[in-house]
Amino acid sequence: FLSEYLSKEGMEFMWGTTGRGSPARKDAYPSWINSPDAPANAQAYLDALDTYAVTGRPYQTLAAAELIDIMNRQTDLLKSGEIDVDAAIAAIVEDGTPVLEEATARLNA
């Protein structure tokens, strides 16, 4: 069932031609864009898949893994109520700044 549902044809059938919404597969988008119920700006959704959510810094750096660990650690403390938002942000900046500086130095070396 899942392989049928997630296939191009499945996405066209369930989402595209019915006009229910944008399919999860780019190759099924024309069925939705050309459906009578698609919004006038439907092409913008397809364009956004390649241009809107561009992952950049800090995630495309030598420090990405360590920065994510720092942010996750502080987020966990925040969710558990052990710290507040201001403390989490301060800790991320304090712990993350040297990590970014070290990555910058390695990159420029």
Residues 44, 68, single domain; the answer is no
Residues 38, 76, single domain; the answer is no
- Tell me how many domains the chain contains: 2
In a domain, 58, yes or no: no
Q: Both tokens of residue 46?
A: 């397809």
* List of residues 6+ apart from 15 with CB closer than 8 A: 21, 22, 23, 24, 28, 31, 32
Residues 78, 37, single domain; the answer is no
Dihedral angle at the C-alpha atoms of 14, 16, 20, 21, nearest 10 degrees? Answer: 120
Distance (Å, whole) CA 30 – CA 27:
7
Residue 92 host element (H or E)? helix 85-108
Residues 43, 81, single domain; the answer is no
Q: Which residue range forms the structural domain that includes residue 96?
A: 64-108
In a domain, 10, yes or no: yes
**Closest by Cα among 70, 74, 73 to 58:** 70
- pLDDT tens, N- to C-terminus, the chain (109 residues): 788 888 999 989 888 888 788 888 889 999 999 998 888 888 998 888 877 766 666 566 788 889 999 999 999 999 999 999 999 999 999 999 999 999 889 888 8
Residues 104, 71, single domain; the answer is yes
